[in-house]
Amino acid sequence: MTAQPEHGWEAMPLPEIRTVDDLRSALSRYGFPGDRERFEEELAAAIGASTTNDFTGAAAVVRAYRHRVLIRNSPEIMTAVEEARPGSGGA
């Protein structure tokens, strides 16, 4: 067992996110709580609202949630978020 830091975030090795199924797996493992469920809802709504030849809205949802996984895995960003929370001593 490796020693864990007392506080702070450490990056976890991310799998490549090339497909929507890759993103689903990454959200389940690395996303913020509830991200996977919200992703499915937003993706379904975007697909439902898309014309049959333009899935720009669905692509935007995929990009946004991929970015959330990357944010969640960034020690610098997560430390800044934690420090900005009320009562954390950082703000």
In a domain, 7, yes or no: no
Q: What is the span of the domain harbouring residue 38?
A: 20-84
In a domain, 49, yes or no: yes
In a domain, 13, yes or no: no
pTM score: 0.72
Alpha-carbon gap, residue 6 to 69, rounded angstroms: 23
Q: What is the pLDDT of residue 1?
A: 43
Mean predicted lDDT score pLDDT of the chain: 84
In a domain, 66, yes or no: yes
Average pLDDT over residues 38-62: 97
φ and ψ at residue 2, rounded to 5 degrees:
-90, 150
pLDDT digits 0-9 by tens, 6-42: 445 565 677 789 999 999 999 999 888 999 999 999 9
Residues 6 or more apart whose CB falls under 8 angstroms from that of 32 comprise: 68, 72
- Count of structural domains, the chain: 1
Q: What is the pLDDT of residue 12?
A: 65
